[in-house]
């Protein structure tokens, strides 16, 4: 079973959360909503927990809830991105490859609909954040791992907190794995109130997908 953790901060993405969760072909799953922002009290599905508004606290609260439910594996789904039908099946199939898995190679969709590849060539591989922390990536929106890993994300770090977490994992012997590039798309928005509103951020160095 997979505990699907959704840090939920924006009520307007509630339908997207349910659509992402509902379209999964993998059925042995439970939904854990972490209300940590403006969405407090607006979601009425799944198991609800609350946390401080930062991303690290939301992830920690979600993982702790999944652990308390007796579930051995968790996966992050952000409220505003797109997760394909076989996303959780892919996560489940990769669980024996490493303690934590995620995506280094994935698609980015701009507000105008243009698509880009990021991290081309970095699929089905083992990233090393200790030797190459700046050049290496596992997108936080795609990570999954075992609930018995007791190293928390650090709320005091406001940017790049997941990179610090990966480094701490590797320093104590945990393994990381970059899954395939399918079944996920990072969506960028033109809304200035959205964290992905700076649409050029992350596009430099990416490969545009021909349409």
Query: What does the pLDDT average to over 126-143?
Result: 88
Domain 2-102+125-179 belongs to what architecture?
Alpha-Beta Complex (3.90)
Are the C-beta atoms of residues 199 and 96 closer than 8 Å to each other? no
pLDDT for res 199: 44
pLDDT for res 193: 56
Confidence check: pLDDT of 17 > 60:
yes
The 10 Å CB-count burial string (b at 16+, else e) for 181-190 is bebbebbbee
Average pLDDT in the chain: 87
Q: Which residue ranges make up each domain of the chain?
A: 2-102+125-179
Query: What does the pLDDT average to over 157-182?
Result: 91
Query: What does the pLDDT average to over 33-37?
Result: 81
Query: What does the pLDDT average to over 135-157?
Result: 91
Q: Output the CA angle 170-176-180, nearest 5 degrees.
A: 160
Record the tokens describing residue 31, joined without a space. Answer: 């939904």
92-110 per-position pLDDT tens digit: 999 999 999 999 999 999 8
Please give the order of strands across the beta sheet that includes 2-8. Answer: 47-50, 29-35, 2-8, 73-76, 144-146, 100-102, 176-178
d(CA 66, CA 142): 17
State if pTM tops 0.75: yes
Tell me which of 134 and 20 has the higher pLDDT.
20
Which pLDDT band holds residue 197 (cuts at 50, 70, 90)?
very low
Which pLDDT band holds residue 198 (cuts at 50, 70, 90)?
very low
């Amino acid at each position: 079973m997979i505990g699907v953790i959704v840090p939920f901060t924006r009520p307007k993405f509630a339908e997207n959360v349910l659509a992402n969760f509902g379209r999964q072909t993998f059925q042995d799953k439970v939904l854990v909503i972490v209300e940590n922002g403006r969405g407090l009290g607006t979601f009425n599905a799944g198991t609800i927990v609350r946390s401080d508004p930062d991303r690290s606290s939301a992830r920690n609260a979600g993982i702790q809830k999944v652990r308390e439910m007796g579930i051995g594996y968790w996966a992050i789904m952000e409220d505003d991105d797109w997760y394909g039908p076989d996303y959780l099946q892919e996560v489940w199939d990769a669980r024996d490859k490493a303690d934590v898995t995620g995506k280094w190679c994935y698609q980015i969709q701009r507000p105008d609909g243009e698509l880009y590849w990021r991290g081309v060539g970095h699929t089905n591989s083992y990233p090393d954040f200790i030797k190459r922390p700046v050049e290496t990536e596992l997108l936080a929106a795609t990570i999954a791992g075992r609930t018995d890993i007791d190293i928390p994300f650090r709320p005091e770090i406001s940017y790049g907190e997941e990179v610090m977490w990966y480094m701490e994992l590797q320093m104590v012997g945990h393994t990381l794995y970059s899954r395939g590039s399918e079944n996920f798309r990072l969506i960028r928005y033109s809304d200035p109130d959205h964290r992905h509103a700076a649409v050029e951020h992350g596009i430099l160095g990416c490969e545009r997908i021909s349409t």
